[in-house]
Amino acid sequence: MLVFAHRGASGYQAENTLAAMQMALDLSVTAIEIDVHNVEGELYVFHDRRLENKSDGFGPIHLATKAELAQLHILGEPIPTLWQVLELINGRCMVNIELKGCFSIAPFMDLYPRIFDELNFTYRQVLVSSFNHHYLATLKSEYGQAYVAPLVDGVPLNLAQAASDLNAYSINLSINFVNQAMIEDAHQRGVKVFVYTVDEADDIRALHHFGVDGIFSNYPDKAQAVVDSLVMQTDDGQASHFHHHEDQLPHWFE
């Protein structure tokens, strides 16, 4: 099970900042997830649609200027550009870039080939996700080798069909809507299932039981320790020691 540092090591440092990315790298994570918005043609790493929810700014981020963003902070840390974050990571681990907000696909299309030409990433190390599946279709139409992941915050009638439509590497699901049918359908399509946001050991145990391929966690070191213990228990045939009994796991999700 792959563990993504959700917005960097956001349980320890200000989310989506260079400090959170450096902390994740210091923890030797295998993957980092970040969110990007378009501001005057530049992609900035920030989660929310509005600035006031996460920073000392105000208003929709896509209506801000680059000069305004340069003055803002998230818990004292500056808001970085996508390129700054990618330069820092520089192929040392996998990165999941979530395209958010308005008009973010155009600048990303311009930047995408530079990631591989100028930095030490392979295509497999850069997973591009979005709730706007049209963004992913645009990327795949130009760069068929791109690794993409539709985000789904629900259970569609056609289950994981969106992943097949996009020839996606994974489908990224909210833990609130994980179910066995969705996982099995994705796997039958040859698509991996990654689940966000997972910090509790018993949830990790249940998702492992259901065959999920990866999770996004604010505390990637703690999540990795749980995953490692599950692998050891599987290898050794040992019983697990969780608060919830083993026979509850099949009923943890629908």
pLDDT at 143: 99
pLDDT at 232: 85
Question: Domains in the chain, ordered, with CATH?
Answer: 2-236 (3.20.20.190)
pTM metric for this prediction: 0.94
pLDDT at 237: 57
Q: Which two tokens stand for residue 25?
A: 């790298």
Q: Are 98 and 30 in contact (CB under 8 A)?
A: no
pLDDT at 169: 99
Q: In the chain, what is the greatest distance between 2 CA atoms, to the nearest angstrom? A: 58
Residue with tokens 């990654």, as numbered in its chain: 194
Q: What is the chain's pLDDT, residue by residue, as a tens digit (254 residues)?
A: 999 999 999 999 999 999 999 999 999 999 999 999 999 999 999 999 999 999 999 999 999 999 999 999 999 999 999 999 999 999 999 999 999 999 999 999 999 999 999 999 999 999 999 999 999 999 999 999 999 999 999 999 999 999 999 999 999 999 999 999 999 999 999 999 999 999 999 999 999 999 999 999 999 999 999 999 998 886 665 544 455 556 678 788 88
